[in-house]
Structure 1
Amino acid sequence: MAQGWRAAVMPALRAPLDYVRPRTVRIGVTGLARAGKTVLLTSLASTLLAPGALGGRIRRARLASAGAETLPRFDQAAHLAALAADPPRWPDRTDAVSLLAFDLELRPPLKSLPPRSLRLELLDYPGEWLLDLPLLDLSFADWSQSVFTRLEQPGLLDATRDFLAFARALPAHATADEALAAAGHRLYVAALTRLRDTHGLVMLQPGRFLMPPPGAAPPWMGFFPLTGSGPLAELMRRRYDAYVTATREALVSPLFGQIDRLVVLADLLGALHTGAAAFADARAALAAASAGLRWQGSWLASIASLAALRLPPRVITRVAYAASKADHVSERQRGNLAALMGALTGQGSRGGDEPVGRSASFAIASARCTEDFVWTLDGHPVSAVRGRLLGSDRLTRSYPGEVPDRPPGPDFWAHPFLELPAFEPARLARGVPVPNIGIEALLGFLLEDLL
């Protein structure tokens, strides 16, 4: 009884001003490449706008006016129309920052209290930029050495050979020639692009080389990794330092600095299928993002910022790490998928009556496209899924293998995780939210302290 009373009155005691003026909460939605961020944002919007969202805790929701906001608006209507088409299709991926805002009316914790208002903003934030956070603690020399060590791996030479040949051919004391700087930058960006598109890698830095901010690129963006101490290397170091400074300033900018909560999305199933190298790369990217976000909450970092006459970055109070495409495996395996995400990012999966923490991991499907069924393989029943192939009327069955609940060892890769079919989105029924797995649980965690 006492616990129920506290659960009812604590939200009112924590935020009494919510009854005077609406609070604004901004959730950043970011993710590694090809994780399905656009579909996630569309599904989040569909869930919030559905009557009785989150078990009735949201009494009413509507899309907010863009007002005088300078950020482009996330085109939720166009992306939802793609899912609702006949036949349905996946929305085009977004390649720029955008914002989607809602005005929510929340059910009061006590019947005697009036409803509270909340402005909720969803910021589509490029995951590539999140991967720049580790650069804040790396010197140009250390970063360059780590990049060359990675690019020289034999399995990646088809993508990195041209850049490596250029860098090795430079004299030890190459002059700070702008033509050399531009050529090296162009070849390095081309190598990063091939590593992403051909090898499925995501831990690629600097992230803004692959997803540039809007507007003309400043001159200091034109750098590439280079060892040595000659004039060209010194120019590259200065430009790298300017890039790191801009990344640090972005943490307190109106764009990133106003984020209260964050969703980090990753396609772990795709990484398991691609192979050990791609999975190790996704693991490194998630670890780097997780460590960077912990850095934001550090008192030492805040003190250091103030000492340098900079505003400290705003602390992100909740982070949800979500493994996408959970509908590509059966319900029995989704707990393992969430646990695997938790193991890669340093926290447990969300479920049951676990206490609220600053971060949690989830397995979600933003737009469900399969159903579970039991398939008999080699005389043994297995929990599988089936769905309609994209661009076809044919149903197909899929059992890609067992999902590990922790980073797999060498034996796992001896029996490859099978290819995941390209499924068509489920047909949408009029007036019904986008069918999904785990979206309400994700929203419940992100907004739990406000509801």
Structure 2
Amino acid sequence: MPSFNLLSPIEDALAGAGDLGRALIGRERVRLAVTGLSRAGKTVFLTSLVANLLAAGRGARTLPALEAAAGGRLRAARIVPAEVQATPRFDASAHLRALAADPPRWPERTEDLSTLEIALELDPRSMLGQARALFAGPRQVTLELLDYPGEWLLDLPMLDQSYGDWSRATLARLRRGRRAEAAGAFLAFVDALPATAPAEEALARQGFALYRDALRSCRDKLGFRFLQPGRALNPGPRGEAPLLWFFPLPHAETGDLAALLARRHEAYLDDQRATFFDPFFRRFHRQAVLVDALGALHAGEEAFDDTAEALAAVAASLRGGLGLFDLLTGQGVRRVGFAATKADHVPSRTRDALLGLLGDLVGRDPAGPLDAATSVHAIAAIRCTEDDVAVLEGRPVAAVRGLRLDTGRVARVYPGEVPMRRPEPGYWDHPFFEMPVFQPPRLDGDGASGIPHLGLDALLAALIGDLL
């Protein structure tokens, strides 16, 4: 059962008071967390966000929708120098150097929490703000960016599950379709265990190793994303600890082994609350969730359905994440932006369909008065194609043109049709979608003039425009 931390309400109240105090003197702080289902392009997204915000602060029109939402008040932007933070720093400079190389390279993935702060200097919004600026100086909003592994996001739906409920749901997924083959060794192991299996350490370690191998096969070979617990795939800098050594059991309520695994399951969730969800997640004001919906289409029906199931679970958890006390203290996620990435891999006429598909997957239930507001977007954090026309079976079709990463040569690609909503079964009967990998555009210098993108400004306007 979920545990309750008595300190959380007190800490929330103190954090809310601190936020209010900073706002009164024109020194607001906005915490924007960025995550995504694995391989959705978080590092690329953050690199582009940083470069384009800095360029906008120098007067370049790199983010017109955000500029409009801010009323043209942005005057400067700078990276806040590091001080004594314990959390690793997002290395935007290294990622920009990769994009400026010859040939340009996509930035390396990050595997841990990382943060970066950008100070935005803005003109006052009101007469009161102008008067305050005479004494306190220009209004400044510090945008605190936090990047965390997408695997950890999938632990969010686990927080309200008992070990027995989690075991039943996880095994039901593993026994479906292609997962059953990928998890064959693990399923054979747990199905052979008696209901009264003893709490032997060697048995628990063997089961966890087989379960982790099954998760890795589902991710790396099949393209699946709904894989829990997240730290089994990405343990973070602390490495593997005994509280990770649990796995689902068919008989989750009986026997000494089940009791041991249930204790570890509970300890894992308590640790995630204490080390991530309470100190970090509850402090987010806004959340961006990146989804490679096109990659899921390319991976086939089962991978797509798995992504849809993961996204629906995450969306439900995020949308219902606020309570009355959160509203009073100003803590908790208030806005969530879901973004289908790599929108430049399809021609412009298809992007509305991509937007509709993501909206269908996330769900369009109206937010209640205590729920976080959600929006959906189709973006390319770094645009690496242009629209073009190809010929398919003697007729012209909308296509995209770019440099293929594997050959370095210009290629004109007709990716296929993107459905407006979750595809019908007949959609999967024939080859339907090509997902090429394009080379990023080479940046001039250090990216001081910004990075070409699609829709990044609209996403940022939806997430933080009201605070600027």
TM-score range, shorter chain: 0.7 to 0.9
- Alignment check: 8 A CA contact 2:417 2:433 kept: no
Contact 1:25 1:121 in 2 (8 A): yes
Q: 1:354 maps to which residue? A: none
Q: Is residue 323 of structure 1 aligned with residue 365 of structure 2? A: no
Q: Kindly provide the amino acid, as one letter, of the partner of residue 235 in structure 1.
A: L
Other structure's SS at 1:171 match: coil
**TM-score scaled by structure 1?**
0.88
C-alpha separation between the residues in 1 aligned to 2:338 and 2:226?
Answer: 16
Aligned residue for 2:110, secondary structure, equals coil
| Pick aligned residue for 1:32 from 15, 34, 37 | 37
CA contact (8 A) 1:79 1:91 kept: yes
Q: Tell me the residue number matched to 1:239.
A: 264
SS at match of 1:408: coil
Select the residue among 86, 90, 102 that pairs with 1:70.
86
Q: 1:107 to 1:76 in 2, by over 3 A?
A: same
Give the CA deviation at 1:302.
7.1
Higher mean C-alpha deviation, range 47-56 or range 32-41: 47-56
Partner of 1:448: helix, strand, or coil?
A: helix
Q: In 2, distance between residues paired with 1:169 and 1:269?
A: 39
Q: Which residue of 1 aligns with 2:359?
A: 342
The equivalent residue for 1:396 is 411
Q: Distance in 2 between matches of 1:334 and 1:388?
A: 20
Distance 1:57 1:414, change over 3 A: farther
> How far apart are the structure 2 equivalents of 1:295 and 1:314?
14
Whole-Å separation in 2 of the counterparts to 1:402 and 1:279: 15
- 2:383 aligned with 1:368: yes
Structure 2 counterpart of 1:4: none
Which of the numbers 116, 139, 143 marks the counterpart of 1:100? 116
Instruction: Tell me what 1:127 maps to.
Output: 150
Q: Deviations over 1:224-283 (max 9, x none)?
A: 111221110111111112222333445653222211100000100010111110110110
- Shifted more, 363-372 versus 128-137: the winner is 128-137
Hey, what's the Cα distance between the residues in 2 that align with 1:124 and 1:393? 30
Q: CA deviation at 1:294?
A: 2.4
Question: Residue 19 of structure 1 contacts residue 116 of structure 1 at CA under 8 Å; is this kept in 2?
Answer: no
What amino acid does structure 2 have at the position aligned with 1:263? A
CA distance in 2, matches of 1:145, 1:258: 32
Aligned residues: 422
Residue 138 of structure 1 corresponds to 161
User: Quick check: 2:348–2:387 contact (8 Å CA) kept in 1?
Assistant: yes
Q: Deviations over 1:122-166 (max 9, x none)?
A: 100111111111112222122212222222234223321111122
CA distance in 2, matches of 1:26, 1:422: 32
Q: For residues 386-436 of structure 1, give each alpha carbon's deviation from its aligned partner in whole angstroms, at most 9, with x where no partner exists.
A: 100114331111112111121111122123332211110012234321111
The amino acid across from 1:381 in the alignment is: P
Name which of 100, 104, 116 aligns with 1:84: 100
Task: Tell me if 1:254 matches 2:279.
Answer: yes
Deviation at residue 85 of structure 1 after TM alignment? 0.9
Residue 306 of structure 2 is aligned to residue 281 of structure 1: yes
In the alignment, the residues of structure 1 paired with residue 226 and residue 187 of structure 2 have an alpha-carbon distance, to the nearest angstrom, of 18
Alpha-carbon separation, structure 2, partners of 1:64 and 1:17:
17
Contact 1:296/1:313 (8 A) holds in 2: no
Judge which range, 378-387 or 188-197, deviates more: 378-387
Distance 2:23 2:257 in 1: 55
Residue 449 of structure 1: SS of its match in structure 2? Answer: helix
CA contact (8 A) 2:282 2:333 kept: no
Name which structure has the greater RCO, CA cutoff 8 Å, separation 6+. 2
Q: In structure 2, do the counterparts of structure 1 residues 377 and 252 end up closer, same or farther at CA, with 3 Å as the change threshold?
A: closer
AA aligned to 2:151 is: E
Q: Does 1:415 align with 2:438?
A: no
Which of 208, 211, 232 is 1:188 aligned to?
A: 211
